[in-house]
Chain A
Amino acid sequence: MTFQTIFKNSLIAAISSIVIAFGGAVQAEYPEKPVDMTVLFGGTANTIAQLLSELMSDELGQPIVPVSRTGGGGAVGYSHVVGTAPDGYNIVWNSNSISTTHHTGRVEFDYTAFTPIARVSTEIPALAVNASTGWTNLDDFASGVSAMDGKLKVGISGKGSFTHLTSAALFDAMGLADKVAYISYGKGKAPVELLAGRIDAAIQWPGQFASYVESGDLNVLAVTGSERVGVLSEVPTAQEQGVDVDISMWRGLAAPAGTPIAAVEKLQAAAQAAVASDAFQEASKNIGFSPAFLNATDFGTLIESDDAFYGALLQRLGLAK
């Protein structure tokens, strides 16, 4: 009997300690291990992500590890994150690309597969032309283009890319859609092509144009957001010039749908603190993006309305699947 009791007791002890261990794990404060943050693109997206993750790690007390999963215009990274457990340890550094990848048929799921955490930053595209055209605002531009024989050559970074969509929306709003021919460059070489005069206009990020504006080689006519941009503060928005477009690229954080509220709130608070930090504000000026924290609820509303907008735009351009 003694042997059996000992055996039984020790078995019970073992089981209960396992239960306690696991129960403890469930109840422990999030986060208790590193958080994996999928980064979908290189370049600016990656730079901001690396900076943000460093700042958020300090807030959270656990490292946020930015992991680059690029390819397919974001499709590869989104697919990876959708397949992970919704436990708050897998998040994605997302952007408007969630709408474009879905509407162009690259992934089956759409934005509803993710829980928004927070918007972090926005980047506002700018329209530039070679200074030799003499155009300095959108009116000059519109009358100049209408008077042109043939079409205006506009540089974009690939069909269906964000610069393409912005260009299309802007020229639609200006009534110039028929006068424009898009030239796809594999990579963002637009400023130089513009400088060399091989293209007539390009929509790119203000940071890429700033130095050329200062040297007087390029004129930036408008930015497409609702507010002016820090690096080119003298450039008016399109809306100020009577053209009704408001397009900006946002970047933010999201997690697979079903992630516990507690985890989302922790991450949201960490993101808010990181965005407010001096280091982040300083970097935003240098790199040329705007810090734009938005909480989870408002961010969700924004994603939803944007998704409808880009869906319709892609449909109109014949790029939707």
Chain B
Amino acid sequence: MTNRVPDIGLGATLAILAAIWTWWVMGTIPQGLGDGEIGARAFPLTFGIILLLLAVILMGRRILSSPADGETEADGSQNKSTESGRLKRTPALLLLAEIVLYGFLLEKIGFVLATPIVVLMIMIVHLRIRSIPKLVAMPFGLTLGCWVIFEKILGIYLANGTWFNIG
């Protein structure tokens, strides 16, 4: 297990992304007018092409390097980090879902309701905490603390819900 396979995957993913990006830029952003007007398209287009090239080079170099000699750099730690990267794919995506849900709820039901719901969810899903006192104390303590400090003392606008709202 070296970095070879994940890197090939990374290179391929980025190459595909860069290709889509470039194609989309070509299709949607108007070209400059010339005479010094470089236009809105030039930079995103150049970035897309550079990324495509870099990704292809990365992929190519890793494919050409034989699996045996692999990366001679720090092997042990690298091994571990790719492994842990694999292992935590699910928690990472789950957290993304929870953050998106949080954003959505903030807009709809406001900070005071959305925060305990999402914190509770993370505690149950990610941390597998089953102790009832903890499950009550943390979400409500955190919400109350933030609400008092930000909304009341510092005067930061915390989200109000558009469906309904308390606080």
Contact = CB atoms under 8 A, between A and B. Distances in A.
A83 interface: yes
B157 A84 contact: no
Contacts of B162: 83-85
Interface in B116-167: 157, 160, 162
Contacts of A65: 157
Contacts of A84: 162
Nearest to B165: A33
A67 interface: yes
Contacts of B157: 65, 67
A36 B162 CA distance: 11
A314 B72 CA distance: 61
Interface string A47-90: 00000000000000000010100000000000000011100000
Nearest to A67: B157
A76 to B, nearest CB: 13
Nearest to B35: A181
A15 B44 CA distance: 61
Nearest to B160: A36
A100 to B, nearest CB: 17
A72 to B, nearest CB: 15
A77 to B, nearest CB: 14
A270 to B, nearest CB: 20
A67 B162 CA distance: 14
Nearest to B155: A65
Contacts of A83: 162
A26 B53 CA distance: 63
Contacts of A85: 162
A49 to B, nearest CB: 13
Contacts of A36: 160
A267 B20 CA distance: 50
Interface in B68-93: none
Interface in A16-63: 36
B123 to A, nearest CB: 30
Contacts of A67: 157
Nearest to A68: B157
Nearest to B159: A67
A37 B157 CA distance: 12
B8 to A, nearest CB: 38
A85 B160 CA distance: 13
Nearest to A84: B162
A49 B162 CA distance: 22
Nearest to A183: B36
A85 B164 CA distance: 11
B166 to A, nearest CB: 11
A84 B162 CA distance: 7
A85 B157 CA distance: 19
A83 B108 CA distance: 12
A63 B157 CA distance: 13
A36 B107 CA distance: 14
B35 to A, nearest CB: 8
Nearest to B40: A159
A84 B160 CA distance: 12
A84 to B, nearest CB: 6
A83 B157 CA distance: 19
B41 to A, nearest CB: 14
A93 to B, nearest CB: 15
A90 to B, nearest CB: 9
B112 to A, nearest CB: 15
Nearest to A34: B160
Interface string B88-111: 000000000000000000000000
Nearest to A90: B162
Interface in A75-113: 83-85
Contacts of B160: 36
Nearest to A66: B157
Nearest to A83: B162
A282 to B, nearest CB: 24
A83 B161 CA distance: 12
B38 to A, nearest CB: 11
6 contacts: A36-B160, A65-B157, A67-B157, A83-B162, A84-B162, A85-B162
The 3 closest A-B pairs by CB, nearest first: A67-B157, A84-B162, A65-B157
